[in-house]
Chains A and B, each alone.
Chain A
């Protein structure tokens, strides 16, 4: 069974840091680009970041560029999102998601994790 399990969320103070993890199983992780998407409480979906299958190319939304870093460990089948200089507006459920196609980093996301909640508040 294809599965993405996110973890690492929690309560953090403004200006703080947090690292999210996404454990993958059920498919050849190293072949597929991966994405992070977030959803603030009661709001819509917002794309955060993407990484190529090899990890050699990374992409970020303007709202997180310079503060967040996406990475992956293909040997461990793990995806990460390092979040620094957190702000109240970063409060959201963060989803890891698998690209449907192995060809391009951007496009349809066919498998999503259950989401992990990040709350930035003093």
Chain B
């Protein structure tokens, strides 16, 4: 396993764009995934394989990758997007989650 580093918090006004980064040396070789978790609820898969969006996930959520950093972008943030977000990556022997980012909608 390896460490995936995320900023502890991101604050954004409604309608603006939030960007959450996740970095680790191993990322260029492995896909990254993103989860949203609201208080008292189980995580929800938002992005897989760096940039693919599961069915039912709003188009305002997108993922990208550049070098050793992957980014989750929330365009046109809504109040309901306030939550914790975790990146994840995996290799053949294990999985690691990022440190988590709390997104606050001002």
Contact = CB atoms under 8 A, between A and B. Distances in A.
Interface of A: 35, 37, 44-47, 50, 59, 61-62, 95, 100, 104, 106-110, 112-115
Contacts of B43: 37, 45, 95, 109, 112
Given A95-B42, A100-B45, A113-B42, A45 B92 contact: no
Interface of B: 1, 31, 33, 35, 37, 42-45, 48-49, 54, 84, 86, 88, 90-100
Given A45-B97, A46-B97, A50-B94, 11 more contacts: A44-B98, A45-B37, A45-B86, A47-B1, A47-B95, A47-B97, A100-B48, A106-B95, A109-B88, A110-B45, A112-B43
Contacts of B90: 106-107
Contacts of B84: 44
B96 A110 contact: no
Contact of A45 (B44, B45, B100): B100
Nearest to B101: A44
B51 to A, nearest CB: 12
Judged by DSSP, the binding face of B is strand
Nearest to B49: A108
A28 B105 CA distance: 39
A44 B94 contact: no
Contacts of A100: 45, 48, 54
Contacts of A110: 45, 48, 54
Most buried by A among B1, B31, B95: B95
